[in-house]
């Protein structure tokens, strides 16, 4: 147990991220099911409006920050050092720190569900409730008097620290710790997409940090950054939030695109079609991702010039995305396809992401968006791209890399059930939402009138959601049941081409007995110009130094939620205690002898 608390091994940290994120994924899914149960019929009064607000806020916040990002991080952690031929990341203790901060931030955020009585309120009344993007000035003290929004902003600040630290870590790791011969254009596509994603993280998160600070000052100290009565403009919040928020959705999708770009070649027994183009498209998407933020604000009266500019940039970003889709199809075309569950999910990703992308293109037309915005049409779009895209991609990654991470194979039979139920469930759940939205059903409403004519759509959506729930439980069961099986997975169960498949499953603590020298993009495959890499020796030729663990990442991380709790309870001494823990932790960390 102690070794898990002090671990600095990227593989263990990856597993920690995986299980924690999966747990939060189940929580977010449960929140969704309650939402869908509520909305299955008009004038439903299962939960109160106040509770409903907390449900959709926490569903969105949990899924984005506590499930999807950390599930991607699980793969960044476990797989990236293996793919680049390294023994660990550049800063192992910082890596552990990121995980602990994520865990503690997620716990703080969810503690709000039961913290009501501490604030003199009922249970289930102080969770964040202003929507996952918390528009001002609903979030002002005047309109959100309770601690709900405080939980949200403090929780997100903490999570932001975790993401930023990981961002710096992975940028340096990918650039500076590659094996000899691993030139940038020989990097596996997943590693490339991760690198691009981390640049988005380190540029976008500071912006939301500032937005949250301004909101905090408004709520805690009485400033008027977003309060009209004091001259503030609530639109500034939207600008700052979406300047972060739009890059954030690319942060959510690019890693999954990277996973697909690994899975498709392996199960087509063909290299990725147009590797260079796929890589450059990813870079272009990241750049353009910074230029489109106000397409979330078409209904706020930006004016015709701004509307046109952002509509234009938004349409532009469909191009590199479309390019990738053609390249993925080109990879499958003419390949020797093996329809493992991983490939099924990868193909599912392509299909579902196309649908989500198409609704996105319709959003790009500002006049059309005026009808779509803030309706269930947008909910359909985001779920097609985030569930049909990111989550299906992450599922593909799970089936692909589970043998490497745990040494056990997942059941393909259960995998098929999981896949088909998921695809059926998600289309049943989210497709009708396009129509419900166009028929006028707004977002974030806790009930609706039968006269609106969207009842049938809601019924279908709820059925679909529960099917997704069952499908996810099948996955959960599949994952858990492998823990009881013996470790029998071979080095390379799928015949993959990249370095992670050259070592045992699971890898030894030092990853590679000998750091390989890489001569091609597909080291393990026979290609036109290269023979496959020689197998690595069974044992390391000399003892390999493995850094030990450290308590300081965990201890330092603890200071952050303590500070947040102090802020929540408006008790400065507690904030100072938390700060002291952080400072002492940093000093002890800095002076601790730690050899790479």
Partner 1 sequence: MAHSHSGAHALRTSMGLDSRKMAFWAFIGSECLLFGSLISTYLVYKGRSLVGPYPHEILNIPFTSFSTFDLLMSSLAMVLALAAVQRGDMKQGKLWLLVTALLGLVFLGGQFWEFSHFVREGLGLTTNLFGSTFYVLTGTHGAHVTVGVIWLLTLWVQALRGKLGPGQAITVEITGLYWHFVDVVWIVIFTVVYLIQ
Partner 2 sequence: MSGQAHATTGTYLRVAAILVMVTLIEVGVFYVPAFHTVLVPVLLVLSAFKFTLVVMFYMHLKFDSRFFALLFGGPLLLALAVMVSLLFIFYGALRLRTGV
Binding residues for partner 2, rule: CB under 8 A, are: 175, 199, 202-203, 207, 233, 239, 243, 290, 294, 301-303, 305-306
Q: Does 180 bind partner 1 (CB under 8 A)?
A: yes
Residue 375 — φ and ψ, nearest 5°? Answer: -115, 180
Q: Does 514 bind partner 1 (CB under 8 A)?
A: no
Indicate the length of the chain as a whole number. Answer: 596
CA distances from 84 to 72, 254, 278, 382 (A): 17, 18, 19, 32
- Scanning 63-188, the segments in alpha helix (DSSP H) are 69-84, 92-111, 148-176
Q: Does 240 bind partner 1 (CB under 8 A)?
A: yes
* Piece of the chain touching partner 1 by CB under 8 A; list 98-106, 170-178, 375-383, 427-435: 170-178
CB of 357 to partner 2, least distance (A): 25
Which is closer to partner 2, CB of 75 or CB of 226?
226
d(CA 368, CA 370): 5
CB of 302 to partner 2, least distance (A): 6
CB 547 within 8 A of CB 553: no
Q: Which does 306 bind (CB under 5 to 8 A by kind): partner 1, partner 2, none?
A: partner 2
CB of 199 to partner 2, least distance (A): 8
Q: Does 210 bind partner 1 (CB under 8 A)?
A: yes
Q: Which does 451 bind (CB under 5 to 8 A by kind): partner 2, partner 1, none?
A: none
CB 232 within 8 A of CB 222: no
- By CB under 8 A, name the one of 4, 143, 222, 370 that touches partner 1: 222
Beta bridge partners of residue 442, listed in sequence order? 375
Q: Does 207 bind partner 1 (CB under 8 A)?
A: yes
d(CA 578, CA 480): 37
- By CB under 8 A, name the one of 91, 273, 419, 431 that touches partner 1: 91
CB of 422 to partner 1, least distance (A): 37
CB of 19 to partner 1, least distance (A): 28
CB of 575 to partner 2, least distance (A): 29
Which is closer to partner 1, CB of 198 or CB of 478?
198
User: Could you give the string, one character per residue 100-129, with x where binding to partner 1 holds by CB under 8 A and - elsewhere?
Assistant: ------------------------------
Tally: H helices and E strands in the chain = 18, 0
Which is closer to partner 2, CB of 187 or CB of 421?
187
Which is closer to partner 2, CB of 120 or CB of 301?
301
User: Could you give the string, one character per residue 556-595, with x where binding to partner 1 holds by CB under 8 A and - elsewhere?
Assistant: -------------------------------x-------x
| 536 Cα distance to chain centroid | 34
Q: How many CB atoms lie within 10 A of CB 269?
A: 14
Which is closer to partner 1, CB of 44 or CB of 234?
234
CB of 230 to partner 2, least distance (A): 17
Torsion of CA 335, 338, 341, 342, to 10 degrees: -40
Site for partner 1 in 242-261 (CB under 8 A): 243
- Scanning 483-545, the segments in alpha helix (DSSP H) are none
Question: Residue 334 region, left (φ>0) first, then alpha (ψ -120 to 50), else beta?
Answer: left
> How do the residues of the chain divide into helix, strand and coil, expressed in percent and rounded to 5?
70, 0, 30
Q: Does 171 bind partner 1 (CB under 8 A)?
A: yes
Q: Does 487 bind partner 1 (CB under 8 A)?
A: no
CB of 303 to partner 2, least distance (A): 5
Q: What is the DSSP string of 450-477?
A: GGGS-HHHHHHHHHHHHHHHHHHHHHHH
Q: Does 440 bind partner 1 (CB under 8 A)?
A: no
Q: Does 234 bind partner 1 (CB under 8 A)?
A: no
Q: Which does 303 bind (CB under 5 to 8 A by kind): partner 1, partner 2, none?
A: partner 2
Which is closer to partner 2, CB of 290 or CB of 420?
290
CB 429 within 8 A of CB 464: yes
d(CA 432, CA 449): 17
CB of 355 to partner 2, least distance (A): 31
CB of 36 to partner 2, least distance (A): 37
CB of 94 to partner 1, least distance (A): 9
Q: Does 535 bind partner 1 (CB under 8 A)?
A: no
Q: How many CB atoms lie within 10 A of CB 319?
A: 12
Q: Which does 290 bind (CB under 5 to 8 A by kind): partner 2, partner 1, none?
A: partner 2
d(CA 293, CA 258): 23
CB 189 within 8 A of CB 275: yes
Tokens of residue 350, six digits: 């392509």
Tokens of residue 15, six digits: 């597993």
- By CB under 8 A, name the one of 231, 303, 304, 543 that touches partner 1: 231
User: Could you give the string, one character per residue 127-166, with x where binding to partner 1 holds by CB under 8 A and - elsewhere?
Assistant: -------------------------------------x--
Which is closer to partner 1, CB of 22 or CB of 242?
242
Q: Using a CB cutoff of 8 Å and minimum separation of 24, what contacts does 15-19 make?
A: 15/74, 15/78, 15/405, 15/406, 16/99, 16/103, 17/70, 17/71, 17/73, 17/74, 17/77, 17/99, 17/102, 18/71, 18/74, 18/78, 18/405
Give me the residues that bind partner 1 (CB under 8 A), please. 90-91, 164, 167-169, 171-172, 175-180, 182, 202-207, 209-211, 213-214, 217, 221-225, 230-233, 236, 240, 243, 587, 595-596
């Amino acid at each position: 147990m102690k070794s898990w608390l002090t671990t600095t091994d990227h593989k263990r940290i990856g597993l920690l991220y995986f299980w924690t994120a999966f747990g939060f994924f189940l929580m977010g899914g449960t929140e969704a099911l309650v939402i869908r149960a509520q909305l299955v019929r008009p004038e439903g009064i299962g939960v109160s409006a106040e509770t409903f607000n907390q449900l959709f806020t926490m569903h969105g916040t949990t899924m984005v920050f506590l499930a999807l990002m950390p599930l991607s991080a699980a793969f960044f952690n476990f797989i990236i050092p293996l793919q680049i031929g390294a023994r660990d990341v550049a800063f192992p203790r910082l890596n552990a720190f990121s995980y602990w901060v994520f865990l503690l931030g997620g716990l703080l955020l969810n503690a709000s569900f039961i913290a009501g009585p501490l604030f003199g309120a009922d249970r289930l009344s102080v969770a964040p409730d202003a929507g996952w993007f918390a528009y001002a000035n609903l979030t002002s003290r005047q309109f959100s008097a309770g601690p709900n929004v405080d939980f949200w902003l403090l929780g997100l600040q903490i999570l932001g620290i975790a993401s930023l630290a990981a961002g710096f870590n992975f940028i340096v790791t990918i650039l500076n710790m590659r094996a000899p011969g691993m030139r940038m254009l020989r990097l596996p596509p997943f590693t490339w997409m991760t690198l691009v994603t981390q640049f988005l993280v380190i540029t976008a998160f500071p912006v939301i940090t500032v937005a949250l600070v301004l909101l905090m000052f408004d709520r805690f100290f009485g400033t008027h950054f977003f309060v009209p009565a004091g001259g503030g403009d609530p639109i500034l919040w939207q600008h700052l939030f979406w300047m972060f928020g739009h890059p954030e959705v690319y942060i959510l999708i690019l890693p999954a695109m990277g996973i697909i770009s690994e899975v498709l070649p392996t199960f087509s027994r063909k290299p990725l079609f147009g590797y260079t183009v796929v890589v450059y498209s990813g870079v272009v998407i990241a750049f353009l991702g910074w230029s489109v933020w106000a397409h979330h604000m078409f209904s706020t009266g930006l004016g015709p010039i701004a509307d046109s500019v952002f509509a234009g940039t938004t349409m532009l970003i469909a191009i590199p995305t479309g390019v990738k889709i053609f390249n993925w199809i080109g990879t499958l075309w003419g390949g020797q396809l093996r329809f493992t569950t991983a490939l099924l999910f990868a193909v599912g990703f392509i299909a579902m992401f196309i649908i989500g992308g198409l609704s996105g293109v319709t959003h790009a037309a500002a006049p059309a968006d005026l009808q779509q915005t803030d309706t269930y049409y947008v909910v359909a779009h985001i779920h097609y791209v985030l569930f049909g895209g990111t989550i299906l991609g992450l599922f593909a990654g799970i089936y692909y890399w589970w043998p490497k991470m745990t040494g056990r194979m997942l059941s393909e039979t259960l995998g098929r059930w999981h896949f088909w139920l998921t695809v059926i469930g998600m289309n049943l759940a989210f497709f009708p939402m396009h129509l419900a939205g166009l028929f006028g059903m707004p977002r974030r409403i806790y009930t609706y009138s039968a006269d609106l004519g969207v009842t049938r759509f809601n019924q279908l959506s709820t059925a679909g959601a529960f099917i997704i729930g069952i499908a996810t439980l099948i996955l959960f069961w599949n994952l858990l049941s492998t823990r009881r099986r013996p470790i029998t997975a071979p080095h390379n169960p799928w015949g993959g081409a990249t370095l992670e498949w050259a070592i045992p499953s699971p890898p030894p603590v030092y990853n590679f007995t000998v750091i390989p020298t890489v001569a091609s993009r597909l080291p393990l495959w026979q290609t036109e110009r290269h023979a496959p890499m020689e197998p690595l020796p069974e044992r390391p030729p000399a003892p390999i130094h493995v850094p030990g663990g450290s308590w300081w990442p965990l201890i330092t991380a603890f200071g952050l939620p303590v500070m947040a709790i102090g802020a929540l309870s408006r008790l400065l001494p507690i904030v100072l205690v938390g700060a002291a823990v952080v400072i002492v932790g940093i000093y002890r960390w800095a002076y601790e002898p730690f050899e790479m």
